[in-house]
Structure 1
Amino acid sequence: MDWHLLGLSFITIFLSELGDKSQVAAIALSGSSKSPRAVFFGTAAALLFASLLGVLLGHGAAHLLPTRLVKAIAALGFALMAVRLLWPSADLPPDAEEVS
């Protein structure tokens, strides 16, 4: 087992999930239920299953697509999102301030 990769994966996912909508849903469910343990195990199982699907799909995609192509598609997607975020919204009048 690659312990460095395990630790890196844990830290990355842990930090990205802090304050996520799934955490807010878990807080709401545990506050309104009589069994917070069931909420914990249910949310943990859901995160594990979602992660398993991501790993399996990523592993399968790695066999079908070259790494260079996947990196190029990811870079293009992030560039398009950045341009979209920086571009003024077409549905706002020019003098209106955009609130994010």
Structure 2
Amino acid sequence: MEAFLISTGVVALAEIGDKTQLLAFLLAARFRKPLPICLGILVATVANHAFAGALGSWITAHVNPLTMRWVLGIGFLAMAIWTLIPDKIDEEVEGGAKLKLGVFGTTVVAFFMAEMGDKTQFATIAMAAQFNAFFAVVAGTTLGMMIANVPAVFLGDKMAGRIPVRLVHAVAALIFALLGVATLIGLGQGLGL
């Protein structure tokens, strides 16, 4: 349960102001069809995060625990810094929204591509490795993505100006930093962390 809750919270916070949330705003404004956009986000996120979670689980099985602790600790600290850097929609991601796949298909392709190499994908890899709980982490990170992006689709520009993005990024960065420090000093080793 802990892996699920932490994964949900970290990704929901990290996703605020992320390029995929900006993409959700863009798709909502362009297509004005929230249900296929939300379903597309769900399908793309499950596919992307399942891949990331599988990679994290594979790493756990093949890397010794001390090395894993250092890699994860430094990785979480790097994600803390990365979270503080504002995102924008890449030209290639925005261009992907011009495909003739319909609203659902365009959303799936655009979101999947936007998540490749994104901080939430790396966070999923790291948390799957940290907790060694593939399903709980993938379910949690997927829920976190939906918590951040579904309101973006339904509320669009009305919500964008009201969220203190810097504050949310600071909180997410703090959580990543705390996870990094806790991992490096070995806190929670007896708890399976």
The alignment partner of 2:50 has SS state of helix
Alpha-carbon deviation of 1:75?
A: 5.2
Gaps of 5+ in 2: 82-193
CA distance in 2 between counterparts of 1:49 and 1:70 reads 25
- Within a 5 Å distance, the mapping from 1:1-100 to structure 2 comes to 3-74=1-72
CA distance in 2 between counterparts of 1:45 and 1:31 reads 20
RMSD: 2.2
Flag the structure with larger Rg: 1
Greater fraction of residues in helix: 2
Alpha-carbon deviation of 1:47?
A: 1.7
Query: What amino acid does structure 2 have at the position aligned with 1:65?
Result: V
Query: What amino acid does structure 2 have at the position aligned with 1:63?
Result: A
CA distance in 1 between counterparts of 2:3 and 2:45 reads 19
CA distance in 1 between counterparts of 2:46 and 2:74 reads 29
CA distance in 1 between counterparts of 2:5 and 2:70 reads 27
- The number of residue pairs the alignment matches comes to 78
Query: What amino acid does structure 2 have at the position aligned with 1:44?
Result: L
CA distance in 2 between counterparts of 1:9 and 1:42 reads 21
TM-score (norm 1): 0.65
TM-score (norm 2): 0.36
